[in-house]
Every structure is written in structure tokens, then in C-alpha cells.
């Protein structure tokens, strides 16, 4: 892994079982958030010849599209904590004949980026997990030239993301599940725009803007397919971990019923919402 790692807990998860699950189910994860992809690429506005930094690149869909947009005169540096996902990303880029991407297994919070080297920094749901978000975004900002752009997707408020609230309700089985504390590393750490704006301001960014987008969140072709996928997700496994066998069986039955309630003619669909966040390096 390149450079130091300060997000140790996240590195252990994404470079371990959770990263393996995402790499194994790449097509499924990409399908769930595919509607958001065009929102990100449009907002990023990558031009031929630009140099792009892709933060939390995962299985590399954003990296490959950024490389295509930048063209042979541009280049992409794609970083992620997950070795399993980076391996899949690099292989897919090779298979697609895309040669202007460099993949690095690294912690973007502390990675020694070349100062002012990039025109655009972008991320598709990859920036919500920093232990010290101000330090992380300041480090990302140091990699941007003056006038460089930051464009990213982060999840909107928890209450507007049925794909997680419905699962939490199904798996509660009488427990009062705690809400994640504001700003704690996790999918919704940037959902509060005042909090997120403060982080980006403190990190040195200006012209910060949030644009709300809503899309369907497809988790399977039918109820059985969706259950097989969702039951293996890390958040589901965490919520099941402290239950005895009887309660675990009850929770999984509830999960099956919730999935069945969301089955449509176009698959199993939940509601979701995100922010397209843009900002500028002065």
C-alpha cells in the first residue's frame, strides 16, 4: 500500500471482507448506483487533456470514464484503500485498452500527492469515511491547481434513503438502533450540508454548492435475487451480529418481507437520494 494509513479501521474493512464483497459483486453495486453516475460525470465536466484525481475509486468505473473523457492527452490517478477492488479496476482498464490511468492503494487523507498537479478531483460515494475529514480534504485540495475543481457524490439524509432505513427497520427486531453520530466515518457522514460545507470551508475550498438528486435504488431482479445480495452486505451483517439464533431468524424473515414489499415489475427497488457537491480550489 502506497504511503501511510491513518484510517486504519476503514482500511481493514475495505482491504478485507467488505472490499472482497464489493469486488465480487461489482456489477450489482454498479447497477444500484448507476443512475447517479451521469450526475457525477456531468458535474465534473472533464475536458480533453485534463488531469483527474479519483478518490475512493473502488472498482474503477469512474476512473475509466474519466480517462475516456480526458483522452490521450490527459491522465487519471485513482486511489482507494481496497486492494481487491483496485485489482479488479486495473484489470478492467487493461481489458478495455485504457492506458492513461494509474491505480494506487493509498489513504487519500495522507497520501503525498504532487502539489497542484490536478485539474479535477472527483469521487463517487468515496469520501465519507475519513477519520479526519478536514485534513483529508485539505490534502486533496493540495493536489489541485489554483482554480481546480472538486466534484463528488455523497449520500443525502438517512431518512431519504429507503435502501438503508427499510433494512434497519426490518432488522431491528425490538431494538432501538442508535443513529450514527454526526460526522462519524460512514455512508452518511456528509449528509448534513451545513456540516459538510464547514468541512470543505475549513479545508480551504470556496464556491461550495450542493445539488440534490433522487434516483431509484435497484437491488435485484426479483425478491430472491435481492435477498441473496442484501443478506451479505456488511451493514446487514453488523445488525445481525449480536442477535441469538431465534432473533436472527426473525430479522431475516423481516428482511425477506421488506424485500418482497419492494418488488416491482422492474426488480426490487428502494428510494434513494444524494448530493452532488462541487467546490473550487482558490
pLDDT at position 151: 98
Closest to 59 in 3D by CA, of 76, 31, 82, 36: 82
List all residues 6 or more positions away from 172 whose beta carbon is below 8 Å from its beta carbon. 239, 251
Closest to 31 (Cα-Cα) out of 164, 186, 220: 220
Q: What is the pLDDT of residue 27?
A: 76
CB 102 within 8 A of CB 128: no
Per-residue pLDDT tens for 195-254? 999 999 999 999 999 999 999 999 999 999 999 988 888 788 888 988 999 999 999 999
Residue with cell 464483497: 21
Q: Is the dihedral of CA 120, 88, 133, 270 positive or negative?
A: positive
The three cell numbers of residue 125 are 460515494
Q: What is the mean pLDDT of the chain?
A: 90
* Separation CA 57–CA 104 (nearest Å): 10
Residue 11: the pLDDT is 45
- The predicted-structure confidence for 133-155, as pLDDT tens digits, reads as follows 999 999 999 999 999 999 999 99
Identify the architecture of domain 8-157+181-216+274-280 in CATH.
3-Layer(aba) Sandwich (3.40)
- Per-residue pLDDT of the chain (282 residues), as tens digits, is 455 655 545 545 555 566 566 656 667 778 888 899 999 999 999 999 999 999 999 889 999 999 999 999 999 999 998 888 899 899 999 999 999 999 999 999 999 999 999 999 999 999 998 989 999 999 999 999 999 999 999 999 999 999 999 999 999 999 998 877 777 888 899 999 999 999 999 999 999 999 999 999 999 999 999 999 888 887 888 889 889 999 999 999 999 999 999 999 999 999 999 999 999 999
Please report the pLDDT score of residue 4 as a whole number.
60
Question: Domain coordinates of the chain in residue numbers?
Answer: 8-157+181-216+274-280
Q: Which residues lie across from 149 on neighbouring strands? A: 120, 280
**Closest by alpha carbon to 191, among 212, 219, 221, 162?**
212
Half-sphere exposure of 275 (CA within 13 A, CB side): 24
- CA 208/CA 205 separation, integer angstroms: 7
Residues 6+ apart with CB under 8 A from 242: none
Strand partners, 106: 2
Amino acid at each position: 500500500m502506497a504511503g501511510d494509513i491513518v484510517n486504519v479501521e476503514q482500511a481493514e474493512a475495505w482491504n478485507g471482507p467488505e472490499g472482497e464483497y464489493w469486488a465480487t459483486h461489482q456489477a450489482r453495486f454498479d447497477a444500484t448506483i448507476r443512475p447517479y453516475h451521469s450526475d457525477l460525470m456531468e458535474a465534473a465536466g472533464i475536458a480533453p487533456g485534463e488531469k483527474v484525481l479519483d478518490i475512493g475509486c473502488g472498482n474503477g468505473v469512474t476512473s475509466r470514464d474519466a480517462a475516456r473523457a480526458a483522452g490521450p492527452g490527459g491522465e487519471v490517478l485513482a486511489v482507494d484503500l481496497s486492494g481487491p477492488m483496485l485489482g479488479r479496476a486495473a484489470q478492467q482498464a487493461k481489458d478495455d485498452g485504457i492506458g492513461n490511468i494509474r491505480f494506487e492503494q493509498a489513504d487519500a487523507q495522507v497520501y503525498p500527492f504532487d502539489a497542484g498537479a490536478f485539474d479535477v478531483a472527483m469521487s463517487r460515494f468515496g469520501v465519507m469515511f475519513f477519520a479526519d475529514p478536514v485534513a483529508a480534504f485539505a490534502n486533496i485540495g493540495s493536489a489541485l491547481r489554483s482554480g481546480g475543481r472538486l466534484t463528488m457524490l455523497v449520500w443525502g439524509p438517512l431518512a431519504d434513503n429507503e435502501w438503508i432505513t427499510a433494512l434497519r427497520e426490518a432488522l431491528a427486531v425490538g431494538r432501538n438502533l442508535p443513529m450514527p453520530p454526526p460526522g462519524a466515518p460512514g455512508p452518511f457522514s456528509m449528509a448534513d450540508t451545513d456540516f459538510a460545507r464547514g468541512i470543505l470551508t475549513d479545508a480551504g475550498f470556496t464556491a461550495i454548492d450542493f445539488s440534490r438528486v433522487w434516483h431509484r435504488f435497484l437491488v435485484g431482479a426479483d425478491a430472491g435475487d435481492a435477498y441473496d445480495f442484501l443478506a451479505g452486505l456488511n451493514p446487514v451483517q453488523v445488525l445481525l451480529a449480536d442477535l441469538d439464533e431465534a432473533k436472527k431468524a426473525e430479522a431475516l424473515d423481516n428482511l425477506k418481507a421488506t424485500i418482497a414489499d419492494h418488488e416491482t415489475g422492474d426488480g426490487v427497488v428502494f428510494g434513494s437520494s444524494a448530493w452532488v457537491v462541487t467546490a473550487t480550489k482558490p
